[in-house]
A and B are shown apart, each in its own frame.
Chain A
């Protein structure tokens, strides 16, 4: 199994530009999670999906952030417009249904730098 796949691995953009992060979860997993990691705030859950349906997006910091999961094998996290404070490592993880004691497996992450 290839594991969780994320692209791009690195993204450098200028303030105000749109950024789209992509994730392919492990086949057969029911849930997909988007996290943001910074030194100051640690690992924060932004949003998660169960069976392609967004369940909880309370971690999404602002309306500039949006996420979709059009099918079981693909999800995107979009930031529009981007700001320097969005600079962080964004992880996608997949696993069994949230809250049921199932393991989450993390992708390699996307390191985003907004200038």
Chain B
């Protein structure tokens, strides 16, 4: 089952914060976050395994609520370079990643 991402699109000014959500109807083993810039391949950001952990590097972090089958990606003090489409991918059991439709993030000066 494809995870549902929200919002579909968001526009930020430099320095503002954003949250992107990813939810699934199935019990999750892991959640993966990727960013894709126009005309390029998706780039891996981070992975969260069941256990409800939170991860982050630089000003991008994520949480995973196993019970709610949800994950959120947090972008703080956004920079122009954060612009792109963010995808979450989820794994359930031994199934491969299923990606959401993506959230288009635009950061403007």
Q: Give the interface of A toward B (CB within 8 A).
A: 31, 33, 42-43, 45, 48, 56, 91, 98-101, 103-109
Taking the nearest CB of chain A, how far is it from the CB of B24, in angstroms? 14
- What count of chain B residues pass the 8 Å CB interface test? 25
Given the interface pairs A104-B32, A106-B41, the reply to whether A43 lies near B99 with Cβ below 8 Å is yes
A103 to B91, CA, bound (A): 11
Residues of B within 8 A of A98 (CB): 91, 94-97
Task: Please tell me if B62 contacts chain A, counting CB pairs below 8 Å.
Answer: no
| CB–CB A107/B91 < 8 A | no
Partner of B96, one of A48, A106, A107, A109: A48
The interface-forming segment of B10-18, B42-50, B68-76 is B42-50
Residues of A within 8 A of B32 (CB): 103-104
Task: Please tell me if B84 contacts chain A, counting CB pairs below 8 Å.
Answer: no
The closest CB in chain B to the CB of A97 belongs to: B94
| CB–CB B97/A104 < 8 A | yes
Partner of A99, one of B49, B94, B99: B94
Residues of A within 8 A of B47 (CB): 101, 103
Residues of B within 8 A of A103 (CB): 32, 44, 47
A42 to B89, CA, bound (A): 12
Residues of A within 8 A of B30 (CB): 101
- A-B contact sample (12 more), CB < 8 A, given A33-B96, A103-B47: A33-B97, A42-B100, A43-B42, A91-B41, A98-B91, A99-B92, A99-B94, A103-B44, A106-B34, A106-B42, A107-B41, A109-B41
A103 to B32, CA, bound (A): 8
- A-B contacts, 17 of them at CB < 8 A, read A33-B96, A45-B97, A91-B42, A98-B91, A98-B96, A98-B97, A99-B93, A99-B94, A100-B94, A101-B29, A101-B49, A104-B32, A104-B89, A104-B97, A106-B41, A106-B42, A108-B41
